[in-house]
Structures are given as C-alpha cells and as structure tokens.
Amino acid sequence: MAKGFFKGLLFGGLVGGFGGLLFAPQKGQKTREEFAEPLHLMSDDVQSVKKDYQTVIEKADELQDLAKMLIPDFQKSMEKSVRAFEFQAEPRIARINEQLSVIQAHLSSFSKEESTE
C-alpha cells in the first residue's frame, strides 16, 4: 500500500509540474525574476535581523560586564553612606530620647499638680 501511495505521489507531482509549465501565464524567466526580488529583499531582512540580534547580544554582554563592575562599588558606597547616617543619627536620637524623658517627667509632675489642686 505504501508503494502505491508513493508511486501516486510521484506521478501526481510530475503531472502537476508538467501542467504548471504548460499552462503558466508567462515565461519562466519572467516568473523567476518576479520571485527573485522578494527573495532578495527577504534575504536582506534576514541578514539585518541577524546583525541586529548580534548587536543586542553584544550590548547585553557589555551591560552585564558594566553591572558586574559597578554594583560592588555602588554597594560599598551605600554601606558607607548608611554607616555615616547611623553615626550622625545616633547622638540625635539619644538627645531626642532625653528630651522625651524630660517632657514625660514634666507631664507626670504637671498631672500630679493638677490632681492635687
């Protein structure tokens, strides 16, 4: 059965090809010329896309290398800034807490004076 199918496929292909040649509306040279231009344009487009893809890959690699180089420096700089902020903020926080203690003491003494009157 498979032999018969392939024979039919071959015969049908030959008959179809021969019929296409016999009944083609124009000469083969003209048909080839009409197919050549779109194929050439498509080939140019494929080459352009391939070139753009390579450029994107190269730029991504450059960006990755740049990130590997800059991130550690940025991280160190941020850690230094945080430590400096903490150093400057600790005495201020201590003074704020002292002032809060004084205010709370005044409030509690004020409340006691009000309740005794």
Domain that holds residue 84: 28-111
Q: pTM for the full model? A: 0.42
pLDDT in 10s for each residue of the chain, 117 residues: 677 887 888 888 888 876 776 677 777 677 777 767 877 888 888 999 999 999 999 999 999 999 999 999 989 999 998 888 888 888 888 888 999 998 888 888 877 766 666
* The 3-state secondary structure of 74-105, one letter per residue: HHHHHHHHHHHHHHHHHHHHHHHHHHHHHHHH
Do the domain assignments include residue 12?
A: no
Q: State the CB neighbour count (10 A cutoff) for residue 32.
A: 10
What pLDDT shows up at residue 1?
Answer: 65
Do the domain assignments include residue 8?
A: no
DSSP 23: T
Domain tally, the chain: 1
